[in-house]
Amino acid sequence: MIRSPRQLHILDKDLDRLSAAEQAGSQSMRPLARVGLAVLFVAVVVVIAVAALPQATTGQVTVLAGVALAAYLALAIGANDVSNSLAPAVGARAIGIGTGLALVATAEIAGAVLAGRKVSATLSLGIVDPRQMLAGGSAAPVMLAALLAAAIWVNIATWAGAPVSTTHSVVGGIAGAGMAAFGATAVNWPGIAMIAGGWIVSPLASGALAAGLLALIRQKIDDAPERDRAARRWLSGMIGTMAALAAGILLGGHLGQQTAVTLGAMAGAGGAATLAARRHMARRFASAGEVRAKSRDLFGLPLVLVAVLMGFAHGANDSSNVTAPLWLILEASGEQGSAFAPGWIFLLAGGGLALGALLFGRRLVVVVGSRITRLNPVRAFCVSLATGTVVLAASWQGLPVSTTHVAVGGIFGVGFFREWDDARRHRRYKQLPVEETHRRTLVRRAHVRRILLAWAITLPASAALAALFSAAMQ
C-alpha cells in the first residue's frame, strides 16, 4: 500500500518524537551510569584486596572496609578537587573539558604514585599519636570514622557546588575521631597548628604570586615596544622555572636523589622547557597575524601544560588524604610489612582521584573556572602557575595544604589585582556612575562569601561527624 504525503509527514513527526524520547532517556541515564561506574570501581578494589591480603590477616573485615572507604573518598576528592587543576584552563577556553579531564586524571595518578609519600607521612604521624592508637587497638575504628566522615562531607559539598578543602575534611576527621576515642590530649595540637598555618599562608601566597605574575606580564610583555621578543624571553622563562621546580621536588624532595643529581635534573628540565617554549612561540608568531591576537594565543599550550603539572602536584599532595588513614588501618591489622605505606595504596588513591575527576568533576570546574572572575588565557596561566608553584613547594616540605584554597586564592588574587589596576588606570576620570562601578567589580562577592563559608565550616563539620562515627564504633 502506498502511503499519502500526509501519512508520510505524520510518520516523520512520530519518528522525530521517538528519537527525541530516546535522546532524553539517554541523557537521564548518564548520572546513573556514572554512579554505577563509581560503585564498580569500589567493588573491584575490594575484590582485588580480598585476593591480595593474606587469609590470616587480623581484622580482615576491618581492612576491607577501610579499603572500600578509601576508594570512595578518593572518588569524592577527585570529583571536588579537579577544579583546582583544570578550572583556569577551561575557564579561559584553552582546552575542552573532556580532553582536559583525561590529561589531568593521568597526571593525578602519576603524582600520587611518584610523589605522594612525604605528605602522607605527615598526616599519618602528625595529628594523633599513632603509637597510642596502635597500642590501644583503636587505630582502625578511628581511621574508618575519619574516612567515612570526610567522604560524606566532601560528597555533600560537591553536590552543593562548593569547592571545599578535602585536606580540611580529612584532618578534621582524624582529629575528631581521635578526640572521641582517646581524649583531647592525644591530639598533636602543635602539629595541627603548623598545618593550619599552611592553610592560611598558602592561599595568600598563591594570590600574591598570581597577581605579581599578571603585573609582570602586563609590564614586561603587554606594554613592551617589541612584544614578540619580550614574550619569548619572559614567558619561556616562567615555564622553564616551573619545570625546574617540578624536577627538583620530584627527585630531591620525594625520590631522595643526591643534591648534584637533583640540581642537574633541574637545570636540564628548566633548559629543555625554556627551549621548547621559545620554539613554540616562534611558530605561533610566524603563523599568527595581529599582534594582540598573537600575544593572547601564545598562552594556550603553556596553560594546558601548567594545568597538567598542577594535576601532578594535586595527586602528590591530596592523595595523602586517602593513603594516610588507610596505612594506619593496615598497620593495626598486622598487614603492613614495609617501613611505610605499600605502593599499591598510592595507586589506589591516584586511580580513585582520576576516576572521580572524569565521572563527576565537570560541575565544579565550571564554578571555579567561570563564576568567580572572568579568566582569559593570560590570567588563567598566572593562576595555574602560582597554584602549581605553591602546592609543589608545600609537597616538598611534606605540608598537607589545601589545593582548593591555593587555587581559589590565586583566582582571587588575579581578580582583585585587575580591580585595583582598573581603578588606577581610570583615576584621572570623574567619579563613575554606580552602575558602571558595579560593572567594573571583577570578583563576584557572592561566590567569594559562599566559598569562604564552606571553608570555615569544613573542619568542624567533618570533625563532628567523625567523632560521632568513632563513638559508635567503640
- Domain locations in the chain as residue ranges: 39-46+56-473
pLDDT of residue 380: 79
pLDDT of residue 59: 66
pTM: 0.77
Whether residue 336 contacts residue 342, with contact meaning beta carbons closer than 8 Å, is answered with yes
* pLDDT at position 181 over 60: yes
Least confident of 181-195, 292-306, 389-403: 292-306
pLDDT of residue 212: 94
pLDDT tens digits, one per residue of 139-151: 788 888 888 888 8
Least confident of 135-139, 198-202, 292-296, 411-415: 292-296
CA 470, CA 461: separation in Å to the nearest integer? Answer: 14
Least confident of 174-188, 272-286, 310-324: 272-286
pLDDT of residue 404: 75
Highest average pLDDT, of 130-139, 222-231, 253-262, 324-333, comes from: 324-333
pLDDT band at 297 (very low <50, low <70, confident <90, very high): low
SS3 for 265-317 is HHHHHHHHHHHHHHHHHHHHHHHCCCHHHHHHHCCHHHHHHHHHHHHHHHHHH
Element (H, E) at 459: helix 445-473
pLDDT of residue 136: 62
* CB atoms inside a 10 Å sphere around CB 154: 30
* pLDDT at position 337 over 50: no
* Nearest partner of 122 among 267, 297, 350, 316, judged by Cα: 316
Least confident of 15-19, 328-332, 456-460: 15-19
Compute the average pLDDT of residues 416-442. Answer: 61
Looking up cell 567503640 gives 474
pLDDT band at 47 (very low <50, low <70, confident <90, very high): confident
pLDDT tens digits, one per residue of 221-253: 877 787 777 877 888 888 888 788 777 777 766
Could you tell me how far CA 79 lies from the centroid of its own chain?
9
* pLDDT at position 425 over 70: no
Compute the average pLDDT of residues 6-11. Answer: 54
pLDDT band at 429 (very low <50, low <70, confident <90, very high): very low
Compute the average pLDDT of residues 448-469. Answer: 81
pLDDT of residue 163: 63
pLDDT band at 338 (very low <50, low <70, confident <90, very high): very low
Whether residue 401 contacts residue 394, with contact meaning beta carbons closer than 8 Å, is answered with yes
pLDDT more than 70, % of the chain: 73
Highest average pLDDT, of 118-132, 210-224, 237-251, 376-390, comes from: 210-224
pLDDT of residue 161: 66
CA 398, CA 266: separation in Å to the nearest integer? Answer: 20
* pLDDT at position 24 over 50: no
